Amino acid sequence: MDPTVNHLIQLQELTQVREEQRVAGGAAHLERINSAIDSMTEQLPSGIKATFEKLHKKDQHVIVPVSESVCSVCGMQLPRSLVQQVRLAEALQSCPNCARFLYMPDAVARNVRPRPGRFDARKPGVSRFSSAGLMIPDLGCDTKDDAIAALANRMESEGFVDKGELLLEEALRREALYSTAVDHGLAFPHVRGVEGGALALAVGLSKEGIRFDGPKGELTHMVFFMVIPTAASAFYLKLLAGLTETFMDEAPRAALMEAEDQAAMWKVLVKVTRKAIK
């Protein structure tokens, strides 16, 4: 991959981490993240830096993947010649419609759920992107690698995504950038750029606790694993905010942790998130 493309992807990921920290209550780390963002922005060539800053004022997506010859944010069908130029990565290319920089991702997992029909009734709340089958009442592990693997594999086995092993690789790469564990034993590992369908959520519990590099060494007991299409990133932040708002309170946490099977866990999740997730 072209070094400038790679630099832009890493810089964009940091800006997304900053938004996640703001939403999930990680304000104590913002100064450090802002410093890293400023440093990486200054390292960009002047023309690219100006474009990056201009695009970022409008939207968090500045460089986006090409998915099946389509810009993954604006949905424009790209000319074959442009797709080939993006694939060769000899120079930065931009979408003719939305002006965002484009890149061709390596092998990635895809969302393989059928899209809802035009006239299908919209499911309420958390039901739109999850199901009882994506609930794991006992993860049965004590490391984040194993916890994420269990949730990624469950997403694959339940027919939400393909290539669960690629989900695991990408989620761990994101964790290496900055831990998604927050206070009260919660963690929100995720993978962006999983195109082909809607956002999906799997949830796993651990009564014993998982070493997730949480604040002050706190063990994680509730893991919310999400796969996010590029175009759904704004909604992902709303979902993250709703889950954080709900489970920062002790009562919903206790109710979910007491669930003994998938059906009970799903019933509690739907009930306690009803107000926070519309």
Looking up residue 17, the CATH number of its domain turns out to be 1.10.287.1490
Q: How many domains does the chain have?
A: 2
Q: What is the pTM of this model?
A: 0.87
Q: What count of other Cβ atoms lies within 10 Å of the Cβ of residue 80?
A: 9
* Residues 6+ positions from 84 with CB-CB distance below 8 Å: none
**Does one domain contain both 142 and 257?**
yes
45 and 132 both lie in a single domain: no
140 φ, ψ (degrees, to nearest 5): 65, 35
Q: Are residues 40 and 149 in the same domain?
A: no
Residue 99 shares a structural domain with residue 130: no
* Domain extent at residue 230: 125-272
Residue 112 lies in a domain: no
Residues 155 and 260 in one domain: yes
Has residue 14 been placed in a domain? yes
Q: What is the pLDDT along the chain (278 residues), one digit of tens a residue?
A: 578 998 999 999 999 989 988 888 766 678 888 999 999 999 999 999 999 999 999 888 999 999 889 999 999 999 999 999 999 988 899 999 999 999 998 767 777 775 655 555 567 789 988 999 999 999 999 999 999 999 999 999 998 988 889 999 999 999 988 889 998 999 999 999 888 888 899 999 999 999 998 777 899 999 999 999 888 888 899 999 999 999 999 999 999 999 999 999 999 999 999 999 98
Q: Is the distance from CB of 246 to CB of 271 less than 8 angstroms?
A: no
Asked if residue 64 and residue 139 are part of one domain, the reply reads no
DSSP 273: T
In a domain? residue 109: no
Q: Please give the pLDDT value at position 78.
A: 97
The answer for residues whose C-beta is within 8 angstroms of residue 103's C-beta and 6 or more apart is 1, 5, 9, 63, 64, 65, 66, 86, 89
Helix axes 46-58, 3-24, angle to 10 degrees: 30
